Amino acid sequence: MKDSNILDSLNPDQKRAVTHVKGPLLVFAGAGSGKTRVIIHRAAYLIHKGVKPYEILCLTFTNKAATEMKQRLQAMAGIRSANVWAGTFHAFGAWFLRREASRIGYPGSFIIYDETDQRSLIRRCIKDLNLNKNRIKDSIIAWLINTKKDTLSNKIPEHLEIDPMPIINMYEKRKMAYSAFDFGDLLYRPCQILSNHQEVRDKYKSMFRYILVDEYQDTNMAQYKMLMSIIGREKNICVVGDDDQSIYGWRGADVGNILRFKDDFPEAEVVTLEQNYRSTLDILNAASNLISNNRTRAPKRLWSNNKGEEEDLIVNEFADDEDEAGFVAYTIGKLISQDVSPSNIGVFYRINALSRVIEEDLVGEDIPYVVYGGMRFYERREIKDILAYLRLIANPMDEEALTRVINTPPRGIGNKSLDKLHAIAQDKGLSTIEIMNKAIEDNIIKGSAAKGIKSFLTILDTLRSYAPVVDIGDLISRLVDITGLQDMVASEIDGFDRITSIKELIASARGETDLVSYLEQKALISNIDIPKNADAVSLMTLHMSKGLEFDYVFILGLEEGLLPHVRSFDSGEAIEEERRLLYVGITRAKRKAFLSWARIRGLYGREMFQSPSGFIREIEGF
């Protein structure tokens, strides 16, 4: 392998980054500027220059990115590259703990708990401590545990009703007794070991002479500390990232890590990649106009040789969200008729609730679509729960709907009681709901289960009495209140988004009066069968769009309170992250970007008068 094989396809700034072999290196890689290429070519160049592959550590954030990194490196550097350690931070943490966990009393054969395992153990701890599970939720405790580990902080929010530490302490003791680590441990525990054992730090400092980190702007405090603990004496650390694309502060990412790199390593070489290979110049100018309003950033301005069409970025104002959705669906249909593949079209929004209107218009235009980063609107848990209740109101014989909601929210009706009811119903050839009262009278079902079933049947009777006299929007509003669904989802860590989705469903059902017809419409929407790798339009939140690209991009809801989100109004840092979020969305577009806002939007269960996002003025350079 010759130098020319590695360097010929690189631009001058990329070459500088790849060939800087000794000492710390910071690469500010703007959107679409080839940052992954720099990582791959740099690793190949190091091997070519005689660095042993097993002395190279490459860290990234997703399994997909890690797999791509390994494949591309092998294609360039050959079989020797298989000895490069390339993977995610969490995978590295697990690998590290297999070797060092005994230092904190764990065997190397530990198991790793996923989110479901973690929350199940937390629930058992809450129960065994005789705490009121209605006062503190397992989701809140899980969030606290994970946040403490990611941020290396022991701060506890003041607004909690009870002290969570007894639960957390029991959780950690039991987890250790079970030889289990949770996901947060894969970062936190290596930090703990490295901090307390000099000989371990020395071992890994000498093991990995060259460290390459992708997406460095997304690192949290635990990842930062772990990384700083294993950098060797030669300080051959290369970090690649873009502070303008740091959009995960809400889950612990600290953009300051990349901005402070020169403070950590004053001697570091800094390379800025500004040539964009993805988008047209008009799109990049709009994105640069926007992001230049952030104060906390490294200066850079993307440019491109890509020739675009006339008006590559368009901002549209609509009377309401129905008009907005109609325009988007019509324009997508027109693009498809011009032989644009649906897979080359992306539709982005700040909150999931905004997908409902556009989904319905895409269905109406017979345009295939997939929703990423979450289920379709009508497949979200809270929406499916509501629809199941409505199905039971319309048809008490619906066994699947009954099974879904009989204990949602929890009413003390366990699986054993439900199994008994199903068995009796099957034996008598009746529906489960028909034999419930009889099972209670015959003392087959008793205690809390009997009480819960009586409450459930009363709720259904009440809702059935409302069904003929109110519209479906009003019926749903009463349903979520009477059943307790609203209180249940409001108490969850993502309760705000779930409540927003419920309010969106209520608003969309206003004026509808035929329950059977309504349910049929929703079934047709939720049961559209799109193959896994279908040629379909992609719908997703702006957060999910990072790392992707589309020929045509639509960004909906550029309104104050939506983008920037209302929860960011009290913080300059949060507003800057909202601006970065829109910047990421715009720079996903290769050929054309359509941005839009609506004067009236159905939100939170009512029509709201909206004002355009201040970001629009920044984009247009005013």
449's tokens: 């289960």
115 token code pair: 């989110």
User: Is there a catalytic annotation at residue 408?
Assistant: no
Taken in order 73, 78, 81, 82, the sign of the CA dihedral is: positive
Length of the chain: 622
Instruction: Let me know if 214 is a catalytic residue.
Output: yes
Q: Among 539, 541, 543, 553, which Cα is nearest to 245's? A: 543
Q: Let me know: does 454 contact 445? Beta carbons within 8 Å.
A: no
The verdict on whether 72 is a catalytic residue reads: no
d(CA 390, CA 220): 44
Parallel, antiparallel or unpaired: strands 606-609 and 550-555: unpaired
Cis peptide before 564 (omega within 30 of 0): yes
Pick the closest to residue 262 from 490, 519, 66, 23 (CA basis).
Answer: 23
Catalytic pick among 36, 275, 403, 521: 36
State the Cα–Cα distance between residues 278 and 289, nearest whole angstrom. 18
d(CA 611, CA 599): 6
The residue whose two tokens read 């371990």 is 200
CA angle 62-68-69, nearest 5°? 90
Catalytic residue among 245, 272, 408, 587: 245
Beta strands in 50-146 (DSSP E): 56-60, 85-88, 111-112
> By the 8 A CB rule, do 303 and 32 touch?
no
Of 100, 185, 214, 576, the catalytic one is 214
Angle formed at CA 171 by CA 168 and CA 176, multiple of 5 degrees: 130
Residue type, 319: A
Of 13, 100, 182, 215, the catalytic one is 215
301 burial via Cβ count (<10 Å: 0-12, 13-18, 19+)? middle
Q: Is 290 strand, coil or helix? A: helix
Annotation marks residue 14 as catalytic: no
Helices (H), 397-494: 399-405, 415-428, 432-441, 447-466, 472-483, 485-490
Give the closest residue to 87 by CA, choosing from 61, 113, 120: 61
Helices (H) and strands (E) in the chain, counts: 28, 15
DSSP notation for 217-258: GG--HHHHHHHHHH--TT--EEEEE-GGG---GGGT--THHH
Q: Which residues contact 136 (CB under 8 A, 6 or more apart)?
A: 126, 160, 161, 162, 164, 167
Nearest to 363, CA basis, from 510, 522, 595, 533? 522
Decide if 311 is catalytic.
no
Q: Is 486 a catalytic residue?
A: no
Please identify which of the residues 35, 72, 384, 546 carries the catalytic annotation. 35
- List, by residue number, the catalytic residues: 35-36, 214-215, 245, 588
